[in-house]
Amino acid sequence: MGMATDRRASWLKGVLDLLVLSCLTDGESYGYEIARRLEEAGLGTIRGGTLYPVLNRLEEAGLLDAEFRAAERGPGRRYYRLTEAGSTVLHEQGAAWNEFHRLVGEHLAKGLAGRRPEGITGKGPTA
């Protein structure tokens, strides 16, 4: 079980910055909300220690703008917004990720074909 979580964590690490960018396509958001949305999407719990360095790097690279606002309740938050550059990079890299994902899937399918999956008539993986 530990190994499965580790592997998943390392997949997530490779794509987290794109996921964060994609959370901002329909408007601005703040750290906790971004983490919550990703968790609700089934991607697991994103800890603050993982999320904020990513937000920082994206901001430093000019892909996000951030604005600090004192909140009605609580200390205050930074609200993040996608920039033009961020949108462009998201589209380009998102497409690249999809292509990569497709190639991985195809290669794995070849490897898995012909092996009888447990409890299913040996039809092999479906497309």
Partner 1 sequence: MTTERGTEGMSPMKATQATQATDTTQGTGWFTELADELRRRGMAERRIGETVTELSDHLLDSGADPVEEFGPAGDLAARLAGDGGAGPGTAGGRVGDGTLPEDAGDAGAREWRFACDQYVDRDVLNRQGDLGWEVVRVDALGRFVCRRDPAEPLRWEYRREVVRRRDREEYAAELAPDGWEPCGYWLYMAYYKRPLSAATGAAGALEPGDAEPGRPWYVGRRVRTMYLALGAMLLCFIPVIVMRGGPSAATWIGAAVGGTVGGAVGWWAMRRDIERGVRDEL
Rule CB under 8 A: choose which of 52, 106, 107, 117 binds partner 1. 52
**Measured between alpha carbons, how far is 72 from 81 in angstroms, rounded to an integer?**
20
Q: What beta strand segments (E) does 2-123 contain?
A: 29-30, 64-69, 77-82
| Cβ contact 9:74 at 8 Å | no
74 binds partner 1 (CB under 8 A): yes
Q: Does residue 31 bind partner 1 (CB under 8 A)?
A: yes
Give the Cα separation of 34 and 22 in Å (integer): 10
Closest distance to partner 1 from the beta carbon of 103 (Å): 19
Give the number of residues in contact with partner 1, rule: CB under 8 A: 35
Which residue's CB is nearer to partner 1, number 67 or number 106?
67
Question: How far is residue 104's CA from residue 20's CA, in Å, rounded to a whole number?
Answer: 23
Q: How many angstroms separate the Cα of 9 from the Cα of each of 37, 45, 50, 95?
A: 17, 10, 11, 22
Among the residue ranges 1-9, 59-67, 105-113, 114-122, the one whose residues contact partner 1 (CB under 8 A): 59-67
Using rule CB under 8 A, residue 61 touches partner 1: yes
Q: Does 28 bind partner 1 (CB under 8 A)?
A: no
Binding footprint of partner 1 on the chain (CB under 8 A): 13, 17-18, 30-32, 35, 47-49, 52-53, 56-63, 66-71, 74-78, 85, 88-89, 93
